């Protein structure tokens, strides 16, 4: 079994190992493709023989990654409609996201 970690970002948890590519919510800040990113909210680390669980986070653990792509998700259409009252609204939304390649677990 390979080494993996569970990280928290964007209100979601992800199980990652070295070489994985994950799609996460956009992170505040000025980031470009190719930038390095550090996840310090590590909930769990497992190296195959030993498991460390945080309370809630592991203080010295970090996960390093590289932003491979910055994009937007598929369009979500939001329709509000009320019958017999001529009320009809249609809105679209595309959620921004990052594709991140996991480089190392520390």
pLDDT given at position 38 = 95
Rounded Cα distance between 84 and 8, Å, is: 46
pTM above 0.85, yes or no: no
CB atoms within 10 A of CB 50: 7
Domain count, the chain: 1
Question: What domain range is 74 assigned to?
Answer: 4-105
Tokens of residue 54, six digits: 């945080």
CA 96-101-104 angle, to 5 degrees, is: 135
pLDDT digit string (tens) for 2-49? 899 999 999 999 999 999 999 999 999 999 999 999 999 999 999 889
Inform me whether the pLDDT recorded for 105 exceeds 80: yes
What value does the mean pLDDT of the chain take?
Answer: 94
CA 70-18-21 angle, to 5 degrees, is: 25
Tokens of residue 32, six digits: 């470009």
pLDDT digit string (tens) for 62-75? 999 999 999 999 99
Sheet holding 42-46, edge to edge: 12-16, 4-9, 42-46, 51-53
CA 79-81-82 angle, to 5 degrees, is: 165
Average pLDDT over residues 95-101: 96
pLDDT given at position 1 = 54
Average pLDDT over residues 76-101: 97
Rounded Cα distance between 66 and 42, Å, is: 17
């Amino acid at each position: 079994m390979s080494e993996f970690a569970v990280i928290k970002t964007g209100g979601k948890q992800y199980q990652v190992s070295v070489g994985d590519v994950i799609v996460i919510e956009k992170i505040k800040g000025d980031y470009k493709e190719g930038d390095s990113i550090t996840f310090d909210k590590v909930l769990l680390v497992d190296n195959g023989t030993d498991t460390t669980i945080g309370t809630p986070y592991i203080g010295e653990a970090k996960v390093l990654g590289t932003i491979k792509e910055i994009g937007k998700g598929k369009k979500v259409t939001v329709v509000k409609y009320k019958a017999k009252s001529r009320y009809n609204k249609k809105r679209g939304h595309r959620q921004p996201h990052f594709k991140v390649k996991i480089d190392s677990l520390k």
